[in-house]
Amino acid sequence: MAAAAKEERARIEAGRVLFAQECKFLLGVAREDQLPERTRPEIGFAGRSNVGKSSLLNALTGRKGLARVSGTPGVTRQLNFFDLAGRAYLVDLPGYGYARAGKREVAAWNALIRAYLHGRPNLRRLCLLIDMRRGVSDPDRAIMKLLDVAAQSYQLVLTKADKVPPHAVPAVIEALESEIAGRGACHPHVLTTSAETGAGIPELRAALAEVIDG
């Protein structure tokens, strides 16, 4: 037991050290031919518009203005690459499932994401963000299917945990675990976070450090 606690502390510390290093915007990619060389491990972040993706990226890196927290959902239409300490790229995928997005916009999103997901062996894990109050919705299921077909490793990361009363959390997690059971590319462990309170951020950093260094 003591050994396990020690190991967990070491994991958390490795995550803290990695994410305490410099993280800066590298480039925005709107077309496949603009994608950077596949020389670094990458961690992707995807989710519905307004899921709290920018807030989570800012909380992870401890940099308030890194990703823009937007009051207007559905405006980012490119993949944003951030260089983490020269060791990895964090890749912010454009939010999907925005109710007012036109057909052409949705098609462009799909084409760009498909182009990115195929032929990206250095994409070590994609964090699929789910708003804890909303749970998994159809647009999330569509991307999960895409990821399963592409055999792209991904993990569900719950956001806005502070908005859900603690007693309701186990039921939400249980529902998600049954949702992902049998999905081959999905990591079985669901992570719970709040950018507002910082809950779960050290654990997410630890999980990602492991993936980057592994």
CA distance 65 to 72: 16
For ligand GDP, the binding residues (CB under 6 A) are: 47, 49-55, 69-70, 73, 95, 159-160, 162-163, 194-196
CB of 123 to ligand GDP, least distance (A): 19
If the CB atoms of residues 9 and 133 are measured against ligand GDP, the closer one turns out to be: 133
If the CB atoms of residues 50 and 155 are measured against ligand GDP, the closer one turns out to be: 50
If the CB atoms of residues 59 and 206 are measured against ligand GDP, the closer one turns out to be: 59
CB of 199 to ligand GDP, least distance (A): 8
What is the bridge-based pairing of β-strands 88-92 and 42-47?
parallel
Query: Residue holding tokens 């405006």?
Result: 75
Helix axes 138-149, 103-117, angle to 10 degrees: 30
Which is nearest to 55 in space by CA: 199, 180, 173, 171? 199
If the CB atoms of residues 70 and 153 are measured against ligand GDP, the closer one turns out to be: 70
CB of 90 to ligand GDP, least distance (A): 13
If the CB atoms of residues 13 and 196 are measured against ligand GDP, the closer one turns out to be: 196
CB of 54 to ligand GDP, least distance (A): 3
Query: Residue holding tokens 């450090």?
Result: 209
CB of 72 to ligand GDP, least distance (A): 9
| 140 three-class SS | helix
Q: Are 74 and 123 in contact (CB under 8 A)?
A: no
Q: Are 202 and 12 in contact (CB under 8 A)?
A: yes
**55 φ, ψ to 5°?**
-60, -40
CA distance 208 to 144: 19
Report CA torsion sign: 208, 130, 60, 189.
Answer: negative
If the CB atoms of residues 68 and 87 are measured against ligand GDP, the closer one turns out to be: 68
CB of 47 to ligand GDP, least distance (A): 6
